[in-house]
Amino acid sequence: MGQSHTDIGHKDQPYLGSAPSLFSNPSSTSHPDIKLDVIGIGAINVDFISHDGQNKSGREIFVDYNHLTNILEDYMKNGQICNTRIGGSAYLAIKTISHLGLNLKTGYVGVVGTIDEFIQNAEHDEFAHLSSQEWLFSDNDKAGKALVTLCNGERDTIQIAPGANDKLVKRIIEKDDEEGTAFVKYLASARWIHITSLKIFADFKHIISKIEAAKDENPFLKVSIDPGFDYTFAHKQELLKLLKVADFLFFTEKEFDNLLGGPKHKLRAKITKLKKHVKKNTLVLVHRKKNNMVIHFLDNNKIPLVNTYYHKKFLSPRINDDTGADDVLAGGVIGGLLTPQMFSYQPAPINLGTELANLVKSSSDFPYDKFASEVRNFFENGSRSNKINWYQKWCHKIKILQVISSFAIGFFSSFAIGFFSSFAIGFFSSFAASVAFSYFK
């Protein structure tokens, strides 16, 4: 971790080179207390996957624990559960980072409840990939559960019973010192923090306040937030007030529209609204329904300009299960941005996240064992990381043509209007003069 990141702002970067200060992530030389690369904060659930979804609503619904347990019993009896695994949005992102083969040190802040009888094959070393488990708590309460229903491989709804996850802030406060600084120091010891939603918004807000304090202590610390569907739907105004702490925001298209206005609202209006609540140089990544990434770089809070980049499409031939694909994408992007070797091949981090998400979507389970080989492909064949350059350049050409055509249309419109106006004025003036001449004659 002792390598500097001075090569981040290289002029040839086609994607994010306009924001070199955004990627000045800390190294051990710039901040002596750095011990971890990434800390994840969020829920840890047992995910139950079913292919019996109906309408692709994409909703996240928090439900009563016993109610969900009864539903799961029925699903199990009817053979409707096709897979079970340990999940949680932030956790999947961190687990992805741990398996990239990039020697990135990871930690996680969460509560692990007891695994119930439905999960006989839970691995005892599930969390062995974490470099730090200092603030990972065990609890005798039941682990959080999530029933994920899929329709044609794409997520329909997810019903979540938080279980032990609701104790996270309580456990943090219990472990913290009297001044409440131990947890802040732990967060400040990382180069990056990735946080996702919790059921209790007040708990999320409490942790955000600790992250803000950590950023005061470690000014190099980068923060990414994946707020999820529920926060963007039910806590819009409260969430917007907390986004100043973020350097990166991850949204699905539905979440982006939930927070800033539906599809009928213009993009410029959405971005202008978002800029009022985020700091300068915030990067917003939106996974669109059309299966490609859109990156909005908010580089000036005063002028409502939108620097938008369209990434290549996801190329999965068949979607088998997209559960957690966005979380894996986030993990790939974060891991790539924390790796100096990838900055020479921008937008390699975005490409990496895309490729890993493709693997997850086309697989029946998370192929963590293949993640490291995907990273090696980027290093062995750097051109692969640049294969969307033509598309990016074409997008820029289209934008330039749009500007030129707008000016041209405006000029010729003005010319035409002026010409016809002059003609009309001249005609009517001549007609009036002739009438007057005839009258007075």
Read off the pLDDT of residues 76-90 as tens digits, 9 standing for 90 and up: 888 888 788 888 999
Does residue 302 share a domain with residue 224? yes
Q: Are residues 304 and 187 part of one domain?
A: yes
Same domain, 368 and 435: no
Same domain, 138 and 277: yes
The predicted model scores a pTM of: 0.78
Tell me what the mean pLDDT of segment 378-393 comes to. 49
Q: No. of H helices and E strands in the chain?
A: 13, 14
Same domain, 195 and 283: yes
Convert the pLDDT of each residue in 265-295 to its tens digit.
788 888 888 988 998 888 888 877 655 667 7
E strand spans, 116-153: 136-142, 144-151
Question: Binning pLDDT at 50, 70 and 90, where does residue 386 land?
Answer: very low
- Are β-strands 136-142 and 106-114 bridged in parallel, bridged antiparallel, or unpaired? parallel
Is the per-residue pLDDT at 211 higher than 80?
yes
Last residue of a domain, one of 387, 416, 431: 387
- Of the pLDDT bands very low, low, confident and very high (cuts 50, 70, 90), residue 13 is very low
Give how many domains the chain has, as a whole number.
2
Identify whether residues 290 and 315 lie together within a single domain: yes
User: Which of 35-39, 363-367, 386-390 has the weakest average pLDDT?
Assistant: 386-390
Query: 285: part of which helix (H) or strand (E)?
Result: strand 282-287
The answer, yes or no, to whether residue 395 has pLDDT greater than 50, is no
Q: 414 and 352, same structural domain? A: no
> Does residue 247 have a pLDDT over 70?
yes
Residue 409 and residue 267 in one domain: no
Q: Is 40 helix (H, G, I), strand (E, B) or coil?
A: strand
Domain, as residue range, for 240: 20-44+87-144+163-387
Coarse DSSP helix, strand, coil percentages of the chain, rounded to the nearest 5 percent: 45, 20, 35
15: pLDDT strictly greater than 80? no
The answer as to whether 15 is a domain residue is no
155-176 pLDDT, tens per residue? 778 899 999 999 999 999 999 9
Residue 326: inside a domain: yes
Residues 413 and 346 in one domain: no
Residue with tokens 């406060």: 173
Least confident of 87-96, 116-125, 166-175: 116-125
Cβ-proximal residues to 407 (8 Å cutoff; 6+ apart), any chain: none
Q: Do residue 408 and residue 381 come from a single domain?
A: no
In a domain, 62, yes or no: no
CATH number at residue 106: 3.40.1190.20
Q: Is residue 320 part of a domain?
A: yes
Quick one: 376 and 395 in the same domain?
no
